[in-house]
Structure 1
Amino acid sequence: MSIASLLPVRIGLLDRTARKPKRTRHRAVDEVTRQKALRTGADLLIKGLRLQLEEQEAEHAEVIARIDERHGEIVRGLEQQIADLERRLDIRTFAEAAAAKTQEIDLRSLQQRFETGGVLRLGAAPMAAVLNPGHPA
């Protein structure tokens, strides 16, 4: 072994702590840039989530609009069915009232019909005596 190999300069065994600068400032700067990068990344993530939320809200609004449109069609169809049934009921009521008025038979005529023996031939019925317009009376 030579004396030159034992020199601290040659083998790099100098006091390294005395030679190195303190890293506290350097680490503080690195921490600030790291925090800024994290904040920038978080801001980008928030923007992305907001865009995603807006897209979901737009899709949700479209679905709600389709549901409302279909609901409106169903309600209109039911209203038309109700109106048709009410019209039919009115027609039936009017027809029954008209039939009852045109075919009214008083109680005395009913009693007379059934006192004479009940059922008559059509030609012998008192209401069947209609004048034939083709033959003079």
Structure 2
Amino acid sequence: MNLGLLPIRLGLLDRPPRKHRAVDEVERQKGMRAGADRLIQALRLQLEDQDLAHAEVIARIDARHAEVVDGMQRQIDDLRRRLDIACKAETAVTKTQELSVDEIRQHCIKPVPLHLSPMARRDPAHVPAWAHRDEPEPAA
């Protein structure tokens, strides 16, 4: 036996053998890619489900918002109607009040004969609307 090559040969035995197995590496990469593809598909399906759930929530929020806006619009319309009625009532009160406060005080301080009163009727046959009879008089 040749002792000169023995240390080299023992050194080669201590090293792990080199594995140049490209076929195994390709198969491992293909397996990893297939697993990644399945994971991507699962995540895509999960994302689509989340998008559908999100769209449903947005639709519910939009419907509720529309209800709130409609209710507020009805309240605004009701308040505007009440304001118009109040303004018209105030206008009617000011138009029917023909005497000013000073005129009323003047008339209350000194008595005025009835025929000179500004509210007196010149027609003695005048019957007020509340005194009219709604029923016809019976025939004799």
**TM-score, normalised via structure 1 length:** 0.65
Cα distance in 1, alignment partners of residues 51 and 36 from structure 2: 22
Cα deviation for residue 116 of structure 1 reads 2.2
Secondary structure of 1:50's counterpart equals helix
After TM superposition, give the deviation of residue 93 of structure 1 in Å: 0.3
Alignment partner, residue 52 of structure 1: 46
Residue aligning to 2:19: 24
Between stretches 107-116 and 84-93, larger displacement belongs to 107-116
Matched, 1:43 2:26: no
2:83: which partner in 1?
Answer: 89
**Considering only aligned residues, what root-mean-square deviation do their CA atoms show, in Å?**
2.7
What is the deviation of 1:99? 1.2
Query: Which aligned runs of 4 or more in structure 1 are off by greater than 6 angstroms?
Result: none
Aligned partners of 2:26, 2:54: CA distance in 1, in Å? 41
Aligned residues: 105
Does residue 110 in structure 1 map to residue 104 in structure 2?
A: yes
Please name the residue that 2:62 is paired with.
68
Structure 1: segments with no counterpart, 5+ residues? 1-21, 118-122
More helix by share: 1
Displacement, 1:132? 4.0
1:80-120 Cα deviation digits (max 9, x unpaired): 10011001100110011011101221356323223227xxx
Q: Structure 2, unaligned stretches of length 5 or more?
A: 1-16, 132-140
Residue identity matched to 1:100: T
What is the CA deviation profile of residues 12-55 of structure 1, one whole-angstrom value per residue up to 9, with x for unaligned ones? xxxxxxxxxx9835x32111101101001101101110110011
Taking only the aligned residue pairs, the percentage that are identical comes to 54
TM-score under structure 2 length normalisation: 0.64
